[in-house]
Amino acid sequence: DYSQEPTRPLTNFIVRNHKPFNAEPHLDLLVNAGTITPADFFFKRNHGPIPNIHFDQHLVYLGVADTPCNGHGQDNVQWKTFSMHDLMTRWPSVDIAASLQCAGNRRDGLAKVKTVKGVIWGPGTISNAVWTGVRLCTILSDLLNVPKDLLHDMVRTYHVSLEADDHVHEDCCYGSSIPLRKAMDPLGDVILAYKMNGEMLSRDHGAPLRVIVPGYIGARSVKYLQKILLQPNESRSFFQVRDYKILPPWVNSDNADSAWDSTPSLGEMNVQCVICTPSEHCTIKGAGPVSVKGYAISGGGRGIYRVELSLDGGKTWEPVDKIEQTPDPKSGMYWAWALWEKKVPRIRASDEIVARAYDSAGNTQPEMPIWNYRGVMNNAWFRVKDVAQL
């Protein structure tokens, strides 16, 4: 039922779907909005109608299962609950700046190679915000009466199933899981967030409560959070086991069934780099130098240490002039994107502008798109052609 959707500033966005609402900001607006993306420019990715959850009545359920389970309707779990008021008063809150990037960012590049399944996103399905909330590890250590030693043991094999209070057609609700080791890592910065950029979460972005899993694909940052279950297996939600996987290139719609189970679910992001301005087929007025701007990011908190630009389709490269990326002041991890810039003297119509990044582990990007049926994690060199400077 889409009769209660929030209103959105549509002019900032390229709308890929209205029901469910899926939209990415125009790239020039995204990069010019600065390091912290205001909600009005922040991409929006939904699998169903936006739920209307009553802040005061919302309860989050928390439990531990000792046998593998599917997460839905677990009778044998002793649930604990906390309200939004509990969350905001019982535990200290922290601010974490982190980017969310959909695993389907740049799916359009893979769709050009061969048919893919999914929303055909361009390169704007990423944004960065400061999230305020409570560390998941604080809540788990405090509320669950699991002895410290046992929790320490569970960290090696357990998962945290995260379920939403919404309705989607693929499954009973949106759900996902992350390894318990990520949730319990005090430097992993996983939080249950109720504020975005200093304001209470909007409905589009998960009100009243969402998970933020820094360094991971956006799909793990579950919005409208209702259930948290520690379990010995990964979530069996559609979104964990039948989606968000890089299926091998020989797998397509006919033979995907058997490949899903043998392919791991995505967690950490790969290295990504996009040119936001100038855009393909644009005309720049004036003969002066052109400022080429974009973003870059990697997964797992790895920083971007180099961004390179080519004007000749990737034959020769030069470093960009400036890369701005700030690590989290407490953990030292790079959860937030890097914005970069390079001034080039001029751009000729025959130039092909290409960008690529390297992260602190030396990971970089493939020259050509690597096709996969779900069209995820496309991080091929980013190319901009046909820019005219008059």
223 binds, among Mo ion, ligand MTE, none (CB under 5 to 8 A by kind): ligand MTE
In terms of DSSP bridges, do strands 318-319 and 272-277 run parallel, antiparallel, or are they unpaired? Answer: unpaired
Check binding of 44 to ligand MTE (CB under 6 A).
Answer: yes
Range 201-213 burial, b when 16+ CB lie within 10 A, else e: bbbbbbbbbbbbb
174 binds, among Mo ion, ligand MTE, none (CB under 5 to 8 A by kind): ligand MTE
Q: How far is the CB of 121 from Mo ion (least distance, A)?
A: 9
Check binding of 342 to ligand MTE (CB under 6 A).
Answer: no
The H or E element containing residue 309 is strand 304-310
Check binding of 205 to ligand MTE (CB under 6 A).
Answer: yes
Residues that bind Mo ion (CB under 5 A): 45, 102, 218-219
Rounded to an integer, what distance in angstroms lies between the CA atom of residue 95 and that of residue 133? 7
- What backbone torsions phi and psi does residue 110 show, to the nearest 5 degrees? -80, -30
CA neighbor of 306 nearest in space, from 359, 342, 353: 359
Which range touches ligand MTE (CB under 6 A), out of 27-35, 37-45, 299-307, 365-373? 37-45
The count of chain residues that interact with ligand MTE, using the rule CB under 6 A, is 18
Check binding of 216 to ligand MTE (CB under 6 A).
Answer: no
Of residues 145 through 174, those in contact with ligand MTE by CB under 6 A are 164, 166, 174
Residue 192, strand partner residues: 134, 211
Among 102, 212, 273, 338, binds ligand MTE (CB under 6 A): 102
The neighbour count for residue 305, using CB atoms within 10 Å, is 17
Check binding of 45 to ligand MTE (CB under 6 A).
Answer: yes
Check binding of 47 to ligand MTE (CB under 6 A).
Answer: yes
Q: How far is the CB of 125 from Mo ion (least distance, A)?
A: 7
Residues 248-257: contacts with CB under 8 Å, at least 24 apart = 248/372, 249/370, 249/371, 249/372, 251/372, 251/373, 252/373, 253/117, 253/373, 256/373
382 binds, among ligand MTE, Mo ion, none (CB under 5 to 8 A by kind): none
* In contact, 366 and 351? CB cutoff 8 Å: no
Among 41, 43, 131, 381, binds ligand MTE (CB under 6 A): 43
Q: Which is nearer to Mo ion, 309 or 377 (CB)?
A: 377
Q: How far is the CB of 220 from ligand MTE (least distance, A)?
A: 7
The neighbour count for residue 2, using CB atoms within 10 Å, is 11
Enumerate binding residues for ligand MTE (CB under 6 A): 42-47, 100, 102, 164, 166, 174, 205, 218-219, 221-224
